[in-house]
Amino acid sequence: MNSQKRVKAPTIQDVARHARVAVGTVSRVLNGHLGVKPATRQRVLDVIKELDYSPNLIARSMTSRRTGSVGIIVPFFTRPFFNEVLQGVEIATTRSGHEFMLYNVQTDDQCQAYFRELPKQRKVDGLLVISLYPDDATAVSFRRAGMPVVLVDAYHPLLTSLIVDNIEGGYQAVKCLIEHGHRRIGFINGIPESDFRFNPANDRLAGLQRAFDEAGIQYEPDLVLTAQWNRSGGREAALQLLTRPDRPTAIFATSDLQAVGVLEAARSLHLSVPAELSVIGFDGIELAEIMELSTIQQPIQHMGELGAQKLIALIEDNEDSESRPELIRLQTSLLQRQTIASPPHYT
Amino acid sequence: MNSQKRVKAPTIQDVARHARVAVGTVSRVLNGHLGVKPATRQRVLDVIKELDYSPNLIARSMTSRRTGSVGIIVPFFTRPFFNEVLQGVEIATTRSGHEFMLYNVQTDDQCQAYFRELPKQRKVDGLLVISLYPDDATAVSFRRAGMPVVLVDAYHPLLTSLIVDNIEGGYQAVKCLIEHGHRRIGFINGIPESDFRFNPANDRLAGLQRAFDEAGIQYEPDLVLTAQWNRSGGREAALQLLTRPDRPTAIFATSDLQAVGVLEAARSLHLSVPAELSVIGFDGIELAEIMELSTIQQPIQHMGELGAQKLIALIEDNEDSESRPELIRLQTSLLQRQTIASPPHYT
DNA sequence: TTGTATGCGTTATCAT
DNA sequence: ATGATAACGCATACAA
């Protein structure tokens, strides 16, 4: 075993010297360029192994103008939904030999700062933006900086975007409830903890309205509550909804996390699900499966994987500006489990 | 609005030229060095704003030998436990202005490859290793490369390590069960999906044995099963345990995920928890709270935060080799919820 | 086939 | 207080 003392890392110069060749030659064998005599190639390889040399990737990035990293800008990355997106991202980046930096954002300011700085800092070759909406000026600045960007669960006309049909998803959820005989349906909308620009829950509400219209059900604003995107948000909203004299027979929550909160509220109120209350969520996270919660399944992991894959393609083809951005639409699907039944007294 | 066409990012040279100063001067104002006449300083600042200039961080890393990033090597980062660790990591890195790269590992080979390559590649200033055990040669190589490393939920004498007392945790779990009157206690051990070097579950088993010894209970190997670290692993093991004629009255699972699997098994067997079966898990993830599962709480998020904080201190103090590594021990605590009761017919 | 020299964008060390 | 210039480690165009 060698000494424990810290030692300066060998450079390409050291390798060249030991192998008695020029740095250019070492660089060539490093990058698999042809035109190196097998004998010298082998000699260089031997020295590399002997010195335990690895190229300094920072220095390499200087000339190659590539870092091999992509940046993921994501709000609240520990939430199950985002976590599952990241799982897909990891699969795609690892497959293509890229690394990724995680930029977690909790406020809109932080988000805008990342949008502004990251393209110029050049620590990443591309940006994957999850559930966040760049404004027009930002989108333009991405292109000017030559920074490839892909939006996942978000849309901008200038950027490759990957969206799911939230209206259709909301429609599927409510239609299912209606088909089971429900007429009084509560909706728990989501309000982001901070002032992000966009709220997919509004589209899901639009889907609800379409289903209502179709069934000739009167939309009652009283049955729509806005709550935080988490369990306690769902729980509190449900508590409100369910303690009214004319409580709804079913609740559609705009996220599974909130729907789990609804389940908790029902439990604390000794309301049995689905006998006395039907519940449907949105997202299709693993927790929904554990809780046997009916939900609208988004292709979450696939969104992350496909988004990352598209981003890497943009990076490698270097087709930043000349190409028109792609718009990819993904579908949701109804997942019926144990939390939906016909309402009490339904004939 | 400027043209949309991609444009070369301005460099420090461009700023210098526009401000009619030398690059050195620009660098000085950029880095807040004193000895710049306020007038010129302002002129430079104006040009920087006018050109929308940001320093190229890669180039800066060339000379500064700092990237401002830390690498997190973590197995299966989407698992709730690791996810909560990462949450702590994010808090600490953001606080200190660092970014982090996520290196997810799924096999031991992959892990060893990261251990070998990352210190030489210099894309990160330090490494935070979660629940993974570097061998002696690896630990030495970290020091030789001058790469600060902190181990979380793992230990090596040469490296700053942050561990929880798994033996004590196992002991707490089983002692609680015994105090409730249980004598036949099943244990579900964990086996990693791949051949990682270490298994914390064995320490938890040792804690069980200590509690057994103390209570004069005979250890029965039949009641110890090894299963995957996930729900289905726990479910299948529990199914085996619970369909025996002399089934245990309580099960201690070495992770909450497996304990949830136990709950699922009990449900499918129409065994009521805790009336007919007591269950306790380990970790204290959020899911345990949702399921009202009793468990042994590890300070998960705190482990990530403290580990990252220690790592950043190592990086900033640059005290790689001269300092003796620190060993930090953290405690677990019993979290009693709804899944533990006295066994049937207990007087 | 191989060597040399220049540039990548900064910081830092000299000068002036 | 500021300017010129040499690193940093690598890739590459050009020479030999």
The CATH code of the domain that includes B43 is: 1.10.260.40
**The model's pTM:** 0.95
Per the domain annotation, does A24 fall within a domain? Answer: yes
CA of B126 vs C1' of C7, distance in Å?
30
A172 and A288 both lie in a single domain: yes
Look up the domain containing B306 and give its range: 63-164+299-330
B184 and B270 both lie in a single domain: yes
Beta bridge partners of A156: A159
Residues 283-322 of A with CB under 7 A from strand C: none
A76 and A104 both lie in a single domain: yes
State whether B140 and A260 contact (CB < 8 Å).
no
Q: With contacts defined as CB-CB under 8 Å, which chain B residues touch A137?
A: 1
A111 and A255 both lie in a single domain: no
Alpha carbon B73 to its chain's center: 9
CA distance B55 to A62: 13
Q: Which of A4, A55, A264 sits opposite B321 (nearest CB)?
A: A4
The answer, yes or no, to whether residue B298 has pLDDT greater than 90, is yes
Alpha carbon A208 to its chain's center: 24
How far away is chain B from the Cα of A123, in angstroms, using its nearest Cα? 6
Using one digit for the tens of pLDDT, what is the confidence trace for A56-71? 999 999 999 999 999 9
CA of A25 vs C1' of D6, distance in Å?
25
Per the domain annotation, does A18 fall within a domain? Answer: yes
CA of A21 vs C1' of D15, distance in Å?
16
B87 and B147 both lie in a single domain: yes
A91 and A34 both lie in a single domain: no
As ranges, strand D nucleotides with an atom below 7 A of a protein CB are 1-5, 7-14
Using one digit for the tens of pLDDT, what is the confidence trace for B73-107? 999 999 999 999 999 999 999 999 999 999 999 99
The residue behind tokens 């950029």 is: B30
Mutate to test the interface with B, among A91, A120, A258 (most CBs of B within 10 A): A120
Give the nucleotide nearest to A60 (CA→C1'): D10
State whether B2 and A99 contact (CB < 8 Å).
no
The answer, yes or no, to whether residue B1 has pLDDT greater than 50, is no
How far away is chain A from the Cα of B171, in angstroms, using its nearest Cα? 29
Q: Which of A56, A59, A121 sits opposite B57 (nearest CB)?
A: A121
Per the domain annotation, does A284 fall within a domain? Answer: yes
How far away is chain B from the Cα of A196, in angstroms, using its nearest Cα? 20
The answer, yes or no, to whether residue B195 has pLDDT greater than 70, is no
Using one digit for the tens of pLDDT, what is the confidence trace for B253-296? 999 999 999 999 999 999 999 999 999 999 999 999 999 999 99
How far away is chain A from the Cα of B181, in angstroms, using its nearest Cα? 29
Per the domain annotation, does A17 fall within a domain? Answer: yes
State whether A78 and B56 contact (CB < 8 Å).
no
Nearest-CA residue to the C1' of C10?
A: B60
The residue behind tokens 């700062």 is: A113
Q: Which of B53, B140, B146 sits opposite A1 (nearest CB)?
A: B140
The answer, yes or no, to whether residue B320 has pLDDT greater than 60, is no
A200 and A260 both lie in a single domain: yes
CA of A60 vs C1' of C1, distance in Å?
24
A283 and A311 both lie in a single domain: no
State whether B56 and A145 contact (CB < 8 Å).
no
Using one digit for the tens of pLDDT, what is the confidence trace for A56-112? 999 999 999 999 999 999 999 999 999 999 999 999 999 999 999 999 999 999 999
State whether B100 and A100 contact (CB < 8 Å).
no
Please state the domain count of chain B.
3
CA distance A346 to A182: 9
CA of A64 vs C1' of D15, distance in Å?
23
CA distance A261 to A280: 12
Handedness of CA A62, A65, A67, A68 (dihedral sign): negative
Per the domain annotation, does B343 fall within a domain? Answer: no
CA of B80 vs C1' of C6, distance in Å?
52
On average, the pLDDT of chain B sits at 94
What's at A70, amino acid-wise?
Answer: V
State whether A144 and B117 contact (CB < 8 Å).
no
- Reported confidence tier of residue A5, pLDDT bands at 50, 70, 90: confident
Using one digit for the tens of pLDDT, what is the confidence trace for A262-272? 999 999 999 99
A207 and A273 both lie in a single domain: yes
CA distance B183 to B175: 11
A173 and A291 both lie in a single domain: yes
State which of A298, A320, A338 marks the end of a domain: A298
CA distance B57 to B273: 57
CA of B235 vs C1' of C10, distance in Å?
57
A157 and A306 both lie in a single domain: yes
The set of residues, in sequence order, having a beta carbon less than 8 Å from that of A113 and lying 6+ positions away, is: none
A184 and A283 both lie in a single domain: yes
Q: With contacts defined as CB-CB under 8 Å, which chain B residues touch A290?
A: 231, 260, 264, 287, 291
Q: With contacts defined as CB-CB under 8 Å, which chain B residues touch A82?
A: none
State whether A104 and B94 contact (CB < 8 Å).
yes
The answer, yes or no, to whether residue B196 has pLDDT greater than 80, is no
- Reported confidence tier of residue A318, pLDDT bands at 50, 70, 90: confident
Which CB contacts under 8 angstroms, 24+ apart, belong to A158-161?
A: A158/A325, A159/A134, A159/A325, A160/A310, A160/A311, A160/A314, A160/A325, A160/A326, A160/A327, A160/A328, A161/A325, A161/A326, A161/A327, A161/A328
As ranges, strand C nucleotides with an atom below 7 A of a protein CB are 1-5, 7-14
State whether B143 and A4 contact (CB < 8 Å).
yes
Q: With contacts defined as CB-CB under 8 Å, which chain B residues touch A55?
A: 121
Q: Which of A1, A122, A143 sits opposite B58 (nearest CB)?
A: A122
Per the domain annotation, does A343 fall within a domain? Answer: no
Residues 43-102 of B with CB under 7 A from strand D: 62-63
CATH number at residue B129: 3.40.50.2300
- The tally of CA atoms less than 13 A away on the side-chain side of residue B105 is 23
The answer, yes or no, to whether residue B197 has pLDDT greater than 80, is no
Mutate to test the interface with A, among B79, B101, B143 (most CBs of A within 10 A): B101
Per the domain annotation, does B1 fall within a domain? Answer: no
Residues 63-102 of A with CB under 7 A from strand D: 63-64
Using one digit for the tens of pLDDT, what is the confidence trace for B7-24? 889 999 999 999 999 999
Per the domain annotation, does B340 fall within a domain? Answer: no
The answer, yes or no, to whether residue B2 has pLDDT greater than 50, is no
